[in-house]
Amino acid sequence: MTINRLNPGLLLAALFSLLLVSLAAPGDALASGKPMGQDRFARPPQVNPEVLRQRVAEMFPEDAERAVRILDCESSDGQDPHTFDLTLENGGPMQINRWWLPYFAERFGWTWTQVVQNIDINLMAARIVYDDATGWSPSGWSPWECYTSGKAG
């Protein structure tokens, strides 16, 4: 699997952000990437929709409004109980498809649990998917159903 156009500057900024969050709150479940309990519908209690919307807008500054609409459509701003379900094909606030897992595991060492339940990793994964899609589609949002269906377009 290869990424056609990965913006190294944005990825570096995202990784730096992850490092800062991890240092600022080492026990925080959002920063640790650890499962949020045994319940397959476990939702991290720290998911604040307003903060999540702001973080998504910061991750996609060139299309912040659409990014926030896609977040809302895909996972109800992280509040849908299925958002963090590890058994589904799409997971996390930005609903990353499991198809990407081999790439993320090989390139970054991320597990499916981290991609789905660690907000920082989920947002970085979304950025990577978006950047890849710009190489084969008119819009980086093409991999998201809420965009292609017109619900958040």
pLDDT (tens place) for every residue of the chain, 153 residues total: 444 455 555 454 444 444 434 433 333 444 434 444 444 555 455 689 999 999 999 999 999 999 999 999 999 999 998 999 999 999 999 999 999 999 999 999 999 999 999 999 999 999 999 999 999 988 999 999 888 887 876
Whether 97 maps to a domain, the answer reads yes
pLDDT the model gives residue 16 = 44
Whether 142 maps to a domain, the answer reads yes
- Give me the DSSP letters along 49-83: HHHHHHHHHHH-GGGHHHHHHHHHHHHTTTTSTTT
Whether 106 maps to a domain, the answer reads yes
Q: Is the dihedral of CA 15, 110, 133, 150 positive or negative?
A: negative
pLDDT the model gives residue 23 = 34
pLDDT the model gives residue 24 = 35
Whether 76 maps to a domain, the answer reads yes
* Six-digit token string for 45: 């209690």
pLDDT the model gives residue 152 = 75
Q: Which residues of 31-55 are buried (b: 16+ CB within 10 A; e: fewer)?
A: bbbebbeeeeebbbeebeeeebbeb
Using only C-alpha atoms, what is the Rg of the chain? 14
Distance CA 67, CA 104 (A): 21
pLDDT the model gives residue 19 = 41
pLDDT the model gives residue 100 = 97
Coil, helix or strand at residue 97 = strand
Whether 77 maps to a domain, the answer reads yes
Domain count, the chain: 1
Whether 98 maps to a domain, the answer reads yes
pLDDT the model gives residue 88 = 96
- Helix, strand, coil share of the chain (percent; to 5): 55, 5, 45
Whether 36 maps to a domain, the answer reads no
Whether 38 maps to a domain, the answer reads no
> The whole model's pTM is what?
0.72
Its domain, for residue 86, covers 8-20+43-148
